[in-house]
Structure formats: C-alpha cells, structure tokens
C-alpha cells in the first residue's frame, strides 16, 4: 500500500455568499454523504473533484475503511443511474460490457447491455479480477464507449467509474496495468480513521445506522445529470494563468528527470493536474487557479503515474514521497 503523503488533509470549503447555485449544490452533496461516512474528508473531496473534472477515481485501502460505503453514499446523494460490480476472479469481460444474445423467436442476435451502461459505476475490488477483465473497462473509461462485435456503443453522459481496490500486497490481487492506472484521474488512499472519527462510527452503529441500508441515514438525492453538467461547464471556465500552466509542466517534467524514477508522469498526467486544480479552485469559490490549487491534489493526481526504480523502492522511497519532494523543489510562480 502506498505510504501517505506529507500533505495536510483536504477540507472542503464552505461556499461563500457569492457562491453559484452549482457550488451550493455540491456543498449539499457533501453534506448528504457525511450523514453516512465519518472522517474521510480528503477522500470525499477527491471524489467531488473527480465528478467535477469528468474523471475516474481509484480508491485504495485495507478492508473495513468505508470505501464501498463512501461510494454508495455518494450515489445516494445523486439522482443518477448507478450500478455496482463486484469484481471476482471468474468475472468475464462480457459480464461487464454486455453481450449479444441469440433470440430463437426471431433468429437474430440482440444486444444485452452490461452494467457499464450507467452514469455512476462502482467497480468494487477491481484488483480481484484478472487483467483481461480489468482491460474491458479501459475503452469505456478512455472513450466513454464500448465496442461489441465491431459496433461502437456510446455510454451515458455523465459517466464516471469509481473503483476500489485492496493493497497489492494482499493475497488474490492482480495489480492494475499501467495503461489502466493512467486512465484514473485520481488515485486516493483511504486511511484508517482518527480516534474521534472512529468513536463517532461506533456511536452511529450503536444507534440505528445500518451501512447495508442507507435509508437509515436519510440521504437525499440533491443533484442529477443536468446539475453536474452545468457545474462542469463552470469548472472548465476557471482561468489558469500561463504561469500556472508552466508550473504544472515543470512539476510533471521534474518527475521524469528524478534519478529514482524509471517512468515519469506523461503529458496526460499534466492535463489531469490542470483539471483537478480547476475543480478545486471552483470548489473554493474562485474563478481562477493559484499554485496552492495545483498542489492540493498533486499527490493524488500523479503518484499512480510514476514508476520507481527497484533500488529506490528497496531504499524505502514511495511515489507519494517523490511527488512531495518535487513540490518542494520546483519554483512556485508569484
């Protein structure tokens, strides 16, 4: 499991009096999720950034840290079509994308859509299934479409994959290939809760809260596809000054020249960092980006795009520590 970053945890800003209707809506989404999940503010912030930036998010953590509950709670707060897939070693690609079914009554084949045809897809324990099935998600995540028997079929808009995985050191896991990891906008580590948060978890369970029945948390759906699409338009209009763009490029290029790195961050990683900075600036109530917006989610946006040399890993270096180092060494624009 990746070591945590030295960056302070994220706290979702409270919309000010001049906040747009979309910004107020996303604050309400966060409030609904908090009805069921305690003490995972940084992770919740990352999920909202992924939703705003039209990207996919990978959550990694040991079992029992509320990965699935967090995603289910987010789903409950959104009026979106959502589906959940439990990845297992015997899951086939067709079980994910759908398949052609022969209809004896007509003598023709008809397409039966798989669970990927949804707006919010929870891919639970994605690294429990072999690479062939993992790869079935790749086209859907990259192109928002799948190809069945040579025919391309579009997916809904919005379309977001939130995947969970156990640490790769656990038995029965298959590490995700680099090409698929790179399709995730963010990779977020789910930490164990702090003591006060864990006490609150127990207090809720001692009451009437049932994590398998979210109706006990009274979560309301406060946003649908129209609200999300409108918020995304606002996010894309957030100004990124050329000096900030140059800062992002310098950060990305610095990962490629570090002596401990085998493969650095690609240009796609730079665009991902740009999109996350715009989303965080928007959540903070601004229509322009600052260097701090870039730094806020840099670790989550870049660590899974870096491959370290074996000797560096033996020395205890992790990708998150590398990104922290890069953030301290690259000059910040003023």
- Would you mind telling me the total number of residues written for the chain in this entry? 334
Give pLDDT tens digits for 210-238. 888 888 899 999 999 999 999 999 999 99
Question: In the prediction, which pLDDT does 168 show?
Answer: 63
Strands (E), 126-183: 145-148, 151-154, 160-165
Give pLDDT tens digits for 156-185. 999 999 999 887 656 667 888 788 889 999
Question: In the prediction, which pLDDT does 169 show?
Answer: 58
Give pLDDT tens digits for 58-75. 999 888 888 889 999 999
Count CB atoms within 10 A of the CB of residue 239. 11
Give pLDDT tens digits for 177-195. 788 889 999 999 988 888 9
Question: In the prediction, which pLDDT does 253 show?
Answer: 96
Q: Percent of the chain, pLDDT > 70?
A: 96
- Residue 92 and residue 238: Cα distance in Å, rounded? 41
DSSP-assigned letter for residue 5: P
- Residue 266 and residue 263: Cα distance in Å, rounded? 9
Give pLDDT tens digits for 282-311. 999 999 999 999 999 999 999 999 988 988
Give pLDDT tens digits for 72-130. 999 999 999 999 999 998 998 889 988 888 788 788 888 888 999 999 999 998 888 88
- Residue 173 and residue 8: Cα distance in Å, rounded? 30
Q: What is the model's pTM?
A: 0.91
Question: In the prediction, which pLDDT does 2 show?
Answer: 45
Give me the chain's average pLDDT, please.
89
CA 152 and chain centroid, separation: 25
């Amino acid at each position: 499991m990746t070591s945590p970053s030295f960056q302070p945890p994220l706290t979702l800003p409270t919309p000010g009096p001049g906040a747009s209707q979309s910004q107020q809506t996303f604050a309400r989404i966060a409030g609904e999720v908090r009805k069921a999940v305690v003490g995972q503010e940084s992770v919740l912030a990352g999920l909202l950034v992924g939703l705003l930036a039209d990207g996919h998010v990978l959550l990694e953590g040991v079992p029992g840290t509320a990965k699935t509950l967090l995603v289910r709670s987010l789903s409950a707060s959104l009026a979106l079509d959502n589906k959940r897939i439990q990845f297992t070693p015997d899951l086939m690609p067709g079980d994910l994308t759908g398949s052609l079914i022969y209809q004896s009554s007509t003598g023709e084949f008809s397409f039966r859509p798989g669970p990927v045809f949804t707006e919010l897809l929870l891919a639970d324990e994605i690294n429990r299934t072999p690479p062939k099935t993992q790869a079935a998600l790749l086209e859907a995540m990259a192109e928002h479409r799948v190809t069945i028997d040579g025919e391309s079929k579009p997916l809904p808009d919005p379309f977001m994959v939130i995947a969970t995985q156990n640490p790769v050191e656990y038995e029965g896991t298959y590490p995700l290939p680099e090409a698929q990891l790179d399709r995730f906008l963010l990779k977020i580590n789910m930490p164990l809760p702090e003591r006060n948060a864990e006490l609150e978890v127990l207090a809720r369970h001692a009451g009437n809260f049932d994590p398998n029945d979210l109706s006990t948390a009274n979560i309301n759906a406060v946003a649908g596809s129209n609200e999300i699409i409108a918020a995304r338009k606002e996010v894309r209009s957030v100004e990124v000054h050329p000096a900030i763009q140059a800062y992002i490029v310098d950060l990305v290029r610095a990962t490629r020249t570090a002596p401990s790195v085998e493969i650095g961050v690609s240009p796609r990683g730079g665009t991902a960092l740009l999109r996350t900075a715009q989303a965080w600036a928007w959540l903070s109530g601004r229509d322009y980006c600052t260097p701090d917006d870039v730094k806020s989610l840099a670790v989550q946006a870049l660590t899974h795009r870096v491959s370290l040399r074996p000797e560096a890993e033996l020395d205890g270096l992790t990708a998150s520590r590398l990104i922290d180092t890069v953030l301290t060494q690259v000059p910040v624009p003023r």
